[in-house]
């Protein structure tokens, strides 16, 4: 079993925040691949499904971003999922809007959700799907940027990106990370 985690904040008024792109990615994946209904467990919402023959547990922590590990660690422990079988979908300021990068391990780069996971998992040895939201240009505007909603102008790249991630998810589930990134990029080009 694989554990796919979307990072975000649980309040309804925050659903469209840039910080919640991880939640958005999991929602589109779960819908596209016919996952079971979301239910509350492990201080989060979980849904189960199969993608490309791999059993996936999708988890959206409801602990707020800064305490994401408090949801992920008990879920991973219950299902005996080791860190290399965990993939975290999260926003990334250092990538241009609509860009995607997959990497295993590495530092938190100032991301409090990743920092919580690193601290409570005791390792950085999990996969990260970094979803670019762009940088506001001034570090004093970072908080309002990540906690701000996506605008209509963002829909031109956000909707196609999420659709491409869901379409390419079988490659990610089968451990073909490079092929996953390539397919997302190609699908995005086709979409215009």
Active site residues: 19
- Do the Cβ atoms of 146 and 7 come closer than 8 Å? no
CA angle 46, 47, 53 (to 5 degrees): 135
CB–CB of 150/158 below 8 Å? yes
Token pair for 148:
């701000």
Token pair for residue 43? 């201080």
Interatomic CA distance for residues 6 and 21, integer angstroms: 8
Which of 129, 133, 134 lies closest to 168, judged by CA?
129
Q: What are 114's two structure tokens?
A: 């990743």
The enclosing H or E element of 129 equals: strand 127-132
CB 174 within 8 A of CB 37: no
């Amino acid at each position: 079993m694989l554990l796919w985690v979307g990072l975000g904040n649980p309040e309804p008024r925050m659903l469209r925040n840039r910080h919640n792109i991880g939640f958005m990615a999991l929602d589109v994946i779960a819908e596209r691949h016919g996952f079971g209904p979301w239910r509350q467990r492990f201080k989060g919402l979980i849904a189960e499904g199969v993608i490309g023959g791999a059993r996936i547990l999708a988890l959206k922590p409801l602990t707020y971003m800064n305490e994401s590990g408090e949801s992920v660690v008990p879920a991973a422990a219950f299902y005996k999922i080791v860190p290399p079988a965990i993939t975290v979908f999260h926003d990334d300021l250092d990538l241009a809007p609509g860009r995607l990068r997959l990497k295993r391990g590495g530092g938190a780069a100032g991301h409090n959700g990743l920092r919580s996971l690193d601290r409570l998992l005791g390792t950085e040895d999990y996969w990260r799907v970094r979803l670019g939201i762009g940088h506001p240009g001034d570090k004093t505007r970072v908080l309002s940027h990540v906690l701000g909603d996506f605008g209509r102008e963002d829909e031109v790249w956000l909707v196609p990106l999420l659709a491409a991630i869901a379409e390419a998810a079988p490659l990610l589930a089968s451990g073909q990370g490079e092929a996953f990134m390539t397919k997302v990029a190609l699908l995005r080009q086709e979409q215009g």
